[in-house]
Amino acid sequence: MNQMIKKISIHQLQPGMFVHDMDCGWMEHPFLTGSFKVRVDKDIERMVEYGIHELYIDTDKGLDVPDAPTQREVAVVLTRQMTALFETRQPVEPTSLHDEMGRARVVLSEANRIIGEVMHGARLGRQIEQEKVDHVVSEMSESVLRNKDALLSLCRIKEKDNYTFLHSVSVGVLLMSFSRTFNLKNEDMQLLGTGGMLHDIGKTRVPDRILNKTGALTPDEFSTIQRHVVYGQNILAEMPNISQTSYEVVAQHHERYDGSGYPLKLKGADMSIYGQMASIVDVYDAITSDRCYRKGMDPTVALRKMFEWSKFHFDPVLIQTFVRTIGIYPVGTLVMLESRKIAVVIDQQGRDLTRPLVLVVFDALKHCHLTPQDVDLSKPLGHGGGDKIVSHESAEQWRIDPYQYI
């Protein structure tokens, strides 16, 4: 049977409809255990309360909204809008990705070690050694300035067990790369990096039993998790040299542009630019990471989702800048070409976001691996190019590990 998923507004939702996907941007959500049938009006009221504006329903399992667009129609329109917006060239990085990878690996493992120690110490009630964090953040910022894609692509690989601190480092890296797209001063970039590294430090005061719970959270457990923001602010308040910028990252990373976030339900311009940037990268990293209870989204899908949510949860202009930071097909993405060959995106610098440099690795028609070969999609046929991306592909489905090619 062909499953029919449609997108509707929360105002169209009625008891008897089957919710397929809540389309909400944050993960510690009591409803997030997935799909369910709406029984009573109270279910809908609660969804409104949690900031759900639009959602997807499964019309095979519940009532239909005949004129609502299908999920496929929505995806086609969003992809078209995004592609039209991003036919701009990525800047050329000072260092090639290949040359930066080795150094980025060293910096990243140092950052993971330090944030691991800091979180362990915070759990025991010790004060944060800010100099250690600042030192590694300064090395991270140098790597980001040489070539942002090196650390960004390495941050995609996370062991599920160490999620909390790997996520902290990722948020730091993402914030620094994001700030580079704005041409922020090096100093501001580092303050954002420190804020990113410490953004979830308050989770060290939330019991593990609740943090790692895989099933649905009770409303009490949900509010306990939400308290990590205030705990984080308290921990930072004890650090004598913490900057206002780093503090805002921690304090506002769960606020949302439409006022549906927490703890203060700040709206739009009431949030600082740093808080807004943090809320975007926190969601992006959370939804693209594998967790013990679910598989992470591919970056391309995640960016399309966030573009979709930007009507409500994020400032649309900031989201556009963020997409420009990551690229529509970031390094490490698996893509299907018009020639039915499957390729890994290996570099985007100096190119249009929709026409990166790829490595062709698999023939989807003949279903066989190929000797890897570079194709520059920004060039015409006969000049090492002449092909085009048709769609992004799931690495898992094709059983191809893109990272072995980078």
Helix and strand totals (H; E) in the chain: 15, 9
* Closest to Fe ion by CB, 148 or 199: 199
- Which C-beta is closer to Fe ion: that of 200 or that of 298? 200
Torsion, Cα of 143, 148, 152, 154 (10° steps):
-50
- Amino acid present at 192: L
CB of 182 to Fe ion, least distance (A): 23
Distances from the Cα of 182 to the Cα of 70, 160, 317, 390, angstroms = 36, 32, 12, 30
Residue 347 CA to residue 353 CA, distance in Å, equals: 10
Q: What's at 382, amino acid-wise?
A: G
Q: How far is the CB of 274 from Fe ion (least distance, A)?
A: 15
The answer to whether 328 and 83 have CB atoms below 8 angstroms apart is yes
Tell me the C-alpha distance between 297 and 305, whole Å: 10
Tell me whether residue 93 or residue 200 sits nearer to Fe ion (CB atom): 200
Sign of the alpha-carbon torsion through 151, 401, 280, 91: positive
> Smallest distance, Å, CB 232 to Fe ion?
8
Tell me whether residue 283 or residue 360 sits nearer to Fe ion (CB atom): 283
| Contact status, residue 20 vs residue 56, Cβ threshold 8 Å | yes
Residue closest to Fe ion (Cβ): 200
Residues lying near Fe ion in the complex (CB under 5 A): 200
CB of 301: closest distance to Fe ion in angstroms? 22
Q: Which is nearer to Fe ion, 23 or 200 (CB)?
A: 200
The C-alpha atoms of residue 145 and residue 186 are separated, in whole angstroms, by: 9
353: left (phi over 0), alpha (psi -120 to 50) or beta: alpha
CB-wise, 99 or 290, nearer to Fe ion? 290
Q: In the complex, what is the shortest distance from the CB of residue 131 to Fe ion, in angstroms, rounded to a whole number?
A: 24
Least distance between Fe ion and beta carbon 197 (Å): 13
To the nearest whole angstrom, how small is the minimum distance from the Cβ of residue 97 to Fe ion?
A: 30
Largest CA distance in the chain: 63
- Cβ proximity to Fe ion: between 194 and 300 the closer is 194
Chain centre to alpha carbon of residue 11? 28
